[in-house]
Structure 1
Amino acid sequence: MEDAAVEEAEVSGAGEFAPALVAAHPLGHSVAVAVGPELRVFDLNGGCAVSLSDDSGGCSHSDAIRAISFSADGALFASAGDDKLVKIWKTDSWRCIQTITSEKRVSAVAISKDGLYVTFADKFGVIWLVTVGGHGEGQVSSDNKPVSIYGHYCSIITSMKFSPDGRFIATADRDFKIRVTSFPKDPVKGAPQIQSFCLGHTEFVSSIAFTSLSGGSSFLLSGGGDSTVRLWDYINGCLLDTYEVKDKVGEQSDETEDSNLAIADLCVTNDDSLVAVAIQSLNGIMLLACDLIAKKLSFLKVITMEKSYIPTSLAYSSSADLLWTVMGASNMPNQAASQLLTRVRIILRFQKELSASADHDPAILEDSEVPHGEKLLLALQGSLDASKQEEVLAAVLAALRVSMHKMLVKKNYSEERREQRKRGRNDKKIKK
């Protein structure tokens, strides 16, 4: 019965669902949205859409982008996905300066704190590293090919982040694990030293984020398919607190099954005291208070949006105190390239005193109130005939309600089906 359900999902295309992503420049200079193979960037300083250019001699993205990330200082941006390409962009000009070809499809990407290295993970759970611009002390080959530094033993990496001090890299996978690894001064030689494993999730881990006390210790947050957000002492691999979202979400959502309450994304806002959480079937955002001194997570409130809006990705811009959210998807059945529509909603005012006064309540900006108004929305959301917008968004909404588990839960196949999949593989090693 399970095999039949999995095969039906593959035929319908639900297993290849690709959520829209959003990333905000750490200094508030720009915001980027990725949906399908399209990377859309808006310059918030200049008030205009960005025209991307490519100096790397590589191809443009031709399949779904699965991961995007700014560097800590915002100077670099990386995008990667199902076309096995990792593209590195300079954000002052939005020129692609390097295009790296992976042997497998890419599921996660991150940039080291010093901006010298880009790491990416493929669908077989191997973490690769490339030196940006050929700089650094590592023994990099002349063509700067990626170097394998460690792996998760054939488990898909779902999220990858560097610690605030740059000393560690955390990687989460669909087999419930979070690994924290020391990031050495010469990572090209490998990063074999495991600092800890953060074990406790009972379903796939979908998102991780670091948070820290001002000038003090840092901690790790994670969310997953078990409908929990967890706080970790990642140095020692100790679980500090767990918050289960299903009780509060049940009051807001028609969906009651735990499998429909997977954490889609989370990000830390303001001074690391608030955590914004996107949940698969919730039309809005859940806010959790994060007390790092008491090492506790607690419910603060749910910011409810329209019924047709379920965010797929979150990004916080501290300079403008804005939480960027996006809803969208690609790789759905019968979806044309012209239908890669996204919906962007922006939430204003995330303050530490959020719960103290109604004056500090966050506000969902109307389209006319967003920075740069219609120009920004047109650039990031895409254009589509008004008569088809409702139909496309309805299809996206239906996919969002059911697709995350089909995308990330580990599948069990019969021996016959396994042999069929082997014969049909399209991720064979690239010829040199």
Structure 2
Amino acid sequence: MEDAPMEYGESNKEIEVAPALIAVHPNQESVAVAVGSDLRVFDLQGDCAVSLVDDSSGGSLHKDSIRAIRYGANGKLFVSAGDDKLVKIWSTESWRCISTVCSEKRVSAVAITNDGLYVCFADKFGVVWVVDVDGSDGQAIVNKKAAPMLSHYCSIITSLEFSPEGQFIVSADRDFKIRVTAFPNKPLDGAHEIQSYCLGHTEFVSCLAFACNVEYPQGFLVSGSGDSTVRLWEISSGTLLDTCEVGGKAGLLESNGREEECCSAITDLCTNSDGTLVAVAVQSLQGIILLSCNLSARTLSLAKVVSIGGETFIPTRLVASRSTGLLWMITGVSNLRGYEYTSLARVRVIFGFNKSNHDFIQNERLVLEDDKVPGGSNLLEKLQGSVSFDEKVFVAAAEAVKTAMGNFITVCDTMAERRVRNADRGRIRDHNADCS
């Protein structure tokens, strides 16, 4: 009898680190940061730190690294989840945890329906779960259990997104696949209608976002991958519209005979309010890449490489405030070995991300100084902590994040799981060859 597969890291927690995460309220009323198990929130309207209230766990909040945080589209709900197999749903009016849902496995991604009635989360064994939060209205809801909704067989789900109109839920995994599923009227009964697969990436898919505007309200999907490309998709048919070789265009690839250094993974991306710009974080780039997205022509092209001068800053997460046109970025990790810091985080902000005009692209001074960031020193002290920034520490943090990203998409498989996964990868490669 084969042993049950073990989740990666359960026997190696002492060496596991978690990248810092950031999320912004849709109207930029607050900003949240997660570093390890620490969840920090700053109220921009009140210009003060938020005290989180969690009666469900005796005030201990999360007990292990947080892997996903997200605000709902209307800003009333906030969700945090991670390695402690807990999904916590918060009311942003009181910042009280209104429900704690137990997951069977460690959580890798979360999403909230556009109407705020359901919370979906994915685990590291490839199952997407859904929980009903209808009627909570900021009040505590108890005994909520998640129901399985769909599955990527034994493949870590790396990203979850709802389409702009809420008709589809899109899930990406470490085995190159993007699945588009019709979101059902009764999601607790399961989602059984697969609309399409978006196949074309040759490495794990790391992140998803939608680019949309008034002319194209249904939007187009943008994806980033470990293959160093950003791709544009029409999701109804799964059609690949364009591919942008981001690493090569940004001058990141070096031909030195070492394959591992010739590919810079896309770690995160986000779009602006009218879908004309895509901000891209790359594993080894000290800054971000801006891509122009032409929705009418269905094309992506390199617009600008924005460096964060004066310090080592390799973003681990990007998020745009569409109401203000600010692009929030964070770098940092938890459990950095060999240093005194239990957690390390640095927040930077780029302005004008809601503009697609020539002046914005040509502007050389896009990054706000710390005293110009909304919330100023109060916000930075709360979200970053009181750590003095040491260049060597951030270099070490960047390397730790690179290693952690590789670890995250690794799992101790049984032989049967390996055979299934390799067969899936073979079919995807055959599909890509046929389409080329």
Shorter-chain TM range is: 0.7 to 0.9
Per the alignment, residue 4 of structure 2 pairs with none
Structure 1: how far apart are the matches of 2:273 and 2:358? Answer: 14
Given residue 85 of structure 1, which amino acid in structure 2 is its aligned partner? L
Query: Offset of 1:318 from its aligned partner?
Result: 1.8
Per the alignment, residue 143 of structure 1 pairs with 143
The SS at the match of 2:223 is strand
Per the alignment, residue 315 of structure 1 pairs with 319
TM-score (norm 2): 0.84
Distance verdict in 2 for CA 1:259–1:109, change over 3 Å: farther
Given residue 297 of structure 1, which amino acid in structure 2 is its aligned partner? L
Per the alignment, residue 126 of structure 2 pairs with 125
Per the alignment, residue 343 of structure 2 pairs with 340
The SS at the match of 1:202 is coil
CA contact (8 A) 2:304 2:361 kept: no
Query: Offset of 1:359 from its aligned partner?
Result: 6.9
Counterparts of 1:225-374 in structure 2, within 5 Å, are 225-250=226-251, 257=260, 260-306=263-309, 308-334=312-338, 338-356=341-359, 360=363, 363-374=366-377
Per the alignment, residue 427 of structure 2 pairs with none
Structure 1: how far apart are the matches of 2:381 and 2:142? Answer: 42
Per the alignment, residue 173 of structure 2 pairs with 173
Query: Offset of 1:319 from its aligned partner?
Result: 1.9
Distance verdict in 2 for CA 1:142–1:61, change over 3 Å: closer
Given residue 287 of structure 1, which amino acid in structure 2 is its aligned partner? L
Per the alignment, residue 161 of structure 1 pairs with 161
The SS at the match of 1:63 is coil
Query: Offset of 1:258 from its aligned partner?
Result: 5.3
Structure 2: how far apart are the matches of 1:142 and 1:82? Answer: 22
User: Which deviates more from structure 2 when the two are superposed, residues 399-408 or residues 302-311?
Assistant: 399-408
Structure 1: how far apart are the matches of 2:395 and 2:11? Answer: 20
Structure 2: how far apart are the matches of 1:95 and 1:268? Answer: 30
User: Which deviates more from structure 2 when the two are superposed, residues 210-219 or residues 284-293?
Assistant: 210-219
Work out the number of aligned pairs and report it.
400
Spell out structure 1 runs of 4+ moving beyond 4 A.
Answer: 9-15, 55-59, 133-136, 251-260, 356-362, 388-391, 409-415
What is the RMSD computed on CA atoms of the aligned residues?
2.8
Structure 1: how far apart are the matches of 2:415 and 2:166? Answer: 43
Indicate yes or no: 2:364 matched with 1:383.
Answer: no
Indicate yes or no: 2:402 matched with 1:398.
Answer: no
Give % identity: 53
CA contact (8 A) 1:225 1:259 kept: no
Per the alignment, residue 222 of structure 1 pairs with 223
TM-score (norm 1): 0.85
Per the alignment, residue 426 of structure 1 pairs with none
Given residue 261 of structure 1, which amino acid in structure 2 is its aligned partner? S
Structure 2: how far apart are the matches of 1:209 and 1:258? Answer: 26
The SS at the match of 1:130 is strand
Structure 2: how far apart are the matches of 1:42 and 1:249? Answer: 34
Structure 2: how far apart are the matches of 1:253 and 1:32? Answer: 36
5+ residue gaps in structure 1? Answer: 1-8, 416-432
CA contact (8 A) 1:353 1:360 kept: no
Structure 1: how far apart are the matches of 2:197 and 2:190? Answer: 18
Given residue 219 of structure 1, which amino acid in structure 2 is its aligned partner? F
Given residue 267 of structure 2, which amino acid in structure 1 is its aligned partner? A
Query: Offset of 1:191 from its aligned partner?
Result: 0.6
CA contact (8 A) 1:86 1:99 kept: yes
The SS at the match of 2:250 is helix
Query: Offset of 1:116 from its aligned partner?
Result: 0.7
CA contact (8 A) 2:253 2:264 kept: no
Structure 1: how far apart are the matches of 2:358 and 2:17? Answer: 37
Counterparts of 1:88-127 in structure 2, within 5 Å, are 88-127=89-128
Given residue 69 of structure 2, which amino acid in structure 1 is its aligned partner? I
